[in-house]
């Protein structure tokens, strides 16, 4: 019997597997354009369990498994016994007796770990407080598509440096060795516990001036200032992060060939302007489409 593989963070795959996943994503993307179909996951069932809202994660995983010959079942907390207090480990044991894999979107990473431990099938982190690794697969693949390689790139992250997306970019910088400059106020800088994971030699720098972070960058990325579950802090976040908007003037500091990423949903006019989202430098909707192709490659790797 083979042991199940989870994908709770990027480092759950080897560097070689990640490179293979990007290569496979490119094939699956080209095949979809050519209307070539696949049955690599025929008969497989994917359970998608959501404790927070989702558009892209839900739709891309549902479409991905369907397009590979399998089937998805999505369970939102409000409709399930989770909202009435059923323990997450009981839920995991039952769900893994029906499905061949589970995508789980939740709050704390303790819930994710508990579900993964109690599940007998692969568990995929569909976003938690600690990271959003499936989004990074799409983001990194988009950088490769647009710029050719990750090696030697300068990536700038502006705004909330303590968000799940920022944490996953830090993890990606460690694995792929690119330079990451985070421009964040001290109130929302990455905590020492996260920065200490990058190790000596990793090129991750935190600065408080967003212009310093963006200067000469090849990739500029940001995320909402108020993540799901932080709504009560919204006014304070808006106040502290107000100077970190990714607008045309800030983007002008980057390399002329720089691309812009945002995982979406965006609050246009808050962390990023509509002008930047819709600009020729924006790869944001390509990035969103790539969620489909990279999720397919991930499902094949874990479930086939």
| 59 touching ligand NVA, by CB under 6 A | no
Quick check: is 263 catalytic?
Answer: yes
Residue environment code for 90-126, b if the CB has 16+ CB neighbours within 10 A, otherwise e: ebbeebbeebbbbbbbbeebebbbbbbebbebbbbbb
Q: How many CA atoms lie within 13 A of 22 on its CB side?
A: 22
Quick check: is 58 catalytic?
Answer: no
Which span (11-19, 27-35, 51-59, 241-249) binds ligand CP, by CB under 6 A? 51-59
Contact with ligand NVA (CB under 6 A): which of 73, 94, 147, 228?
228
Contact with ligand NVA (CB under 6 A): which of 75, 165, 194, 246?
165
Contact with ligand NVA (CB under 6 A): which of 164, 168, 245, 294?
164
**Among residues 44, 58, 132, 293, which one is catalytic?**
132
Quick check: is 268 catalytic?
Answer: no
Window 233 to 292, contacts with ligand CP (CB under 6 A): 263-265
Window 102 to 141, contacts with ligand CP (CB under 6 A): 127, 135
| 54 touching ligand CP, by CB under 6 A | yes
Rounded to an integer, what distance in angstroms lies between the CA atom of residue 129 and that of residue 133?
Answer: 11
| 168 touching ligand NVA, by CB under 6 A | no
Q: Which does 171 bind (CB under 5 to 8 A by kind): ligand CP, ligand NVA, none?
A: none
Q: Least distance in Å: CB of 135 to ligand CP?
A: 5
Residues that bind ligand CP (CB under 6 A): 54-57, 127, 135, 263-265
């Amino acid at each position: 019997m083979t042991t199940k593989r989870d994908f709770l963070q990027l480092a759950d795959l080897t560097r070689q597997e990640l490179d293979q996943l990007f290569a496979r994503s490119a094939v699956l993307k080209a095949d979809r354009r050519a209307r070539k179909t696949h049955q690599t996951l025929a008969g497989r069932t994917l359970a998608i369990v959501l404790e927070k809202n989702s558009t892209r994660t839900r739709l891309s995983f549902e479409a991905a498994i369907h397009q590979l010959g399998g089937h998805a079942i999505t369970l939102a907390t409000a409709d399930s016994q989770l909202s009435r207090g059923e323990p997450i480990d009981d839920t995991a044991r039952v769900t893994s007796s029906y499905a061949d894999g589970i995508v789980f979107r939740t709050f704390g990473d303790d819930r994710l770990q508990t579900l993964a431990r109690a599940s007998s099938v692969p568990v995929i982190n569909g976003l938690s407080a600690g990271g959003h690794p499936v989004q990074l697969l799409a983001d990194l693949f988009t950088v490769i598509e647009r710029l050719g390689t990750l090696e030697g790139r300068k990536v700038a992250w502006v705004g909330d440096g303590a968000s799940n997306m920022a944490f996953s970019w830090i993890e990606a910088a460690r694995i792929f060795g690119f330079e990451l400059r985070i421009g964040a106020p001290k109130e929302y800088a990455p905590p020492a516990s996260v920065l200490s994971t990058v190790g000596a030699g990793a090129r991750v720098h935190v600065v408080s001036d967003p212009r310093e972070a963006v200067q000469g960058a090849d990739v500029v990325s940001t995320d909402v200032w108020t993540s799901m579950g932080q709504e009560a802090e919204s006014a304070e976040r808006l106040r502290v992060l107000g100077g970190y908007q990714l607008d045309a003037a800030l983007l002008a500091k980057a390399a002329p060939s720089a691309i812009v990423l945002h995982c979406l949903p965006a609050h246009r006019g808050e962390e990023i302007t509509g002008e930047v989202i819709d600009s020729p430098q924006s790869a944001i909707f390509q990035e969103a489409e790539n969620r489909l192709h990279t999720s397919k490659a991930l499902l094949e790797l874990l479930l086939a």
